[in-house]
Structure 1
Amino acid sequence: MGISLVLAIVILNYYIFQLPPEGNYLSMDSSVYLASIFVFGLHYTLTLLLYSSIVYALLARKIALWKHVSNFAIYNMMIIGASYIYQLSGGVPGPMDFHQIHAYVLSLSAYFLLNVFIIGLYYLITIKGNLMNVYKGIIKETISGYVSTLLLSLILTIMITTYQIYGLILLLLVTILLSIAFKQLFALYKEVSEKAIRDQRTGLYNHGYFETVMEQELTKSKELQQPLSLTIMDIDDFKKYNDAYGHLKGDRLLEFFGALIKEECETNGLFAARYGGEEFTILHPNSSEAEAFSFVNRLRKKLNDTFFEGVEVFPHGCISFSAGIIGLKTGIYDKSQFVDMADQALYFAKAQGKNLVHIYDDQSVVQKTFDIEREISEIEHQLKIFLSKDVYTYQHSKRVFEYAVEMSEKIGLNDYERKMLTLGALFHDIGKLEIPRDILNKKGKLTSEEWEIVKKHVLWGKEIASTNQRLKHLIPLIELHHERYDGMGYPHGLHSNEIPKLARILTVIDSFDAMTTERPYQKTKSFDEAFSEIRMHSGTQFDPEIVEPFIEMIMDKFYWKRNILNSELKTAQEI
Structure 2
Amino acid sequence: MKFKIQNVYIAFVCLAGTVLYLYHLNPQVNELSNWVFIYTLVGAVLLLNHFNIIIPLSGNTLSMDSSIYLAGLFLFGLKLPLIALGLSSLVFLLIRFKLEWWKHLFNFANYSVMLIATYYVFIFTGGSVGETEISNIMPYSIALTVYFSLNVGIMWFYFYLAQKPSLKTIIRTATQKQILQEAFTSYLSTLVLSLVLTILISQQPIFGIFLFLALSIMLSFAFKNFFNLYKEEEAKAKMDFLTGLYNHGHFKLRLDEMLSDNQGDPFCVALIDLDDFKKFNDANGHIQGDELLKFFGKFMCEKTRDESYIAARYGGEEFGLILPGLDKREAFTFLNKIRKEINDTYFPGIETSPLGCISFSGGIVEYEKGTYSSSELLSKADKALYHAKAQGKNAIQVYKEDNIYPQGMEYAQEIDALEQQLQIFLSKDIYTYQHSKRVFSYAMGISEKLQLSSEERRSLILGALIHDIGKLEIPRDVINKKGRLDAHEWDMMKKHVIYGKEIISSIKKYDELLPLIELHHERYDGKGYPYGLKERNIPKLARILCIIDSFDAMTTERPYQKTKTFSEGIQELRNCAGHQFDPEYVEPFIKMIEDNYADKLASEKEAVLV
Structure 2 counterparts to residues 19-58 of structure 1, below 5 A: 19-42=55-78, 44-58=80-94
Secondary structure class of the residue paired with 2:403: helix
Secondary structure class of the residue paired with 1:523: coil
Counterpart residue number, 1:351: 390
Structure 2 counterparts to residues 221-370 of structure 1, below 5 A: 222=262, 224-366=263-405, 368-370=407-409
- CA RMSD of the aligned region, Å? 2.5
Counterpart residue number, 2:205: 164
Alignment partner of 1:70 out of 88, 106, 116: 106
**Stretch deviating more after TM superposition (507-516 or 359-368):** 359-368
Tell me how far apart the structure 1 counterparts of residues 163 and 358 of structure 2 sit (CA, whole Å). 41
Counterpart residue number, 1:455: 494
Tell me how far apart the structure 2 counterparts of residues 249 and 545 of structure 1 sit (CA, whole Å). 57
- Match of 1:417, as an amino acid? E
Deviation at 1:387, TM superposition (A): 1.7
Deviation at 1:306, TM superposition (A): 0.6
- Match of 2:200, as an amino acid? M
Secondary structure class of the residue paired with 2:424: helix
Counterpart residue number, 1:108: 144
Counterpart residue number, 1:206: 247
Alignment partner of 1:134 out of 164, 170, 173: 173
Alignment partner of 2:127 out of 71, 76, 91: 91
Secondary structure class of the residue paired with 2:70: helix
Tell me how far apart the structure 2 counterparts of residues 329 and 232 of structure 1 sit (CA, whole Å). 17
Counterpart residue number, 1:215: 256
- The 1:88/1:444 distance shift into structure 2, 3 A limit, reads farther
C-alpha deviations, 1:354-382, integer Å up to 9, x for none? Answer: 11111111122545411545544543454
**Stretch deviating more after TM superposition (530-539 or 338-347):** 530-539
- The 1:450/1:318 distance shift into structure 2, 3 A limit, reads same
Tell me how far apart the structure 1 counterparts of residues 512 and 380 of structure 2 sit (CA, whole Å). 9
Q: TM-score, normalised by structure 2?
A: 0.87
- Match of 1:207, as an amino acid? H
Percentage of identical aligned residues:
50
Deviation at 1:516, TM superposition (A): 2.2
**Stretch deviating more after TM superposition (73-82 or 420-429):** 73-82
Contact 1:431-1:460 at 8 Å conserved across structures: yes
Give ranges in structure 2 of 5+ residues lacking alignment: 1-36
Contact 2:45-2:68 at 8 Å conserved across structures: yes
Contact 1:390-1:440 at 8 Å conserved across structures: yes
Structure 1 residue 184 corresponds to structure 2 residue 220: no
Counterpart residue number, 1:507: 546
- The 1:429/1:84 distance shift into structure 2, 3 A limit, reads farther
Alignment partner of 1:485 out of 518, 521, 524: 524
- Match of 1:53, as an amino acid? S
Contact 1:527-1:559 at 8 Å conserved across structures: no
- Match of 2:377, as an amino acid? F
Deviation at 1:3, TM superposition (A): 2.1
- Match of 1:521, as an amino acid? Y
Contact 1:120-1:134 at 8 Å conserved across structures: no
Deviation at 1:513, TM superposition (A): 1.7
Contact 2:361-2:393 at 8 Å conserved across structures: yes
Secondary structure class of the residue paired with 1:324: strand
C-alpha deviations, 1:391-418, integer Å up to 9, x for none? Answer: 1112111222233233334442233222
Contact 1:124-1:134 at 8 Å conserved across structures: no
Tell me how far apart the structure 2 counterparts of residues 11 and 517 of structure 1 sit (CA, whole Å). 78
Tell me how far apart the structure 2 counterparts of residues 388 and 176 of structure 1 sit (CA, whole Å). 73
Structure 1 residue 415 corresponds to structure 2 residue 451: no
Counterpart residue number, 1:150: 191
Counterpart residue number, 2:153: 117
**Stretch deviating more after TM superposition (364-373 or 279-288):** 364-373
Q: TM-score, normalised by structure 1?
A: 0.92
- The 1:87/1:514 distance shift into structure 2, 3 A limit, reads farther
Deviation at 1:329, TM superposition (A): 0.6
Structure 1 residue 564 corresponds to structure 2 residue 600: no
Counterpart residue number, 2:16: none
Deviation at 1:42, TM superposition (A): 4.3
C-alpha deviations, 1:541-560, integer Å up to 9, x for none? Answer: 33343344444544555476
Aligned residues: 569
- The 1:11/1:536 distance shift into structure 2, 3 A limit, reads farther
Tell me how far apart the structure 1 counterparts of residues 223 and 160 of structure 2 sit (CA, whole Å). 31
Deviation at 1:63, TM superposition (A): 2.0
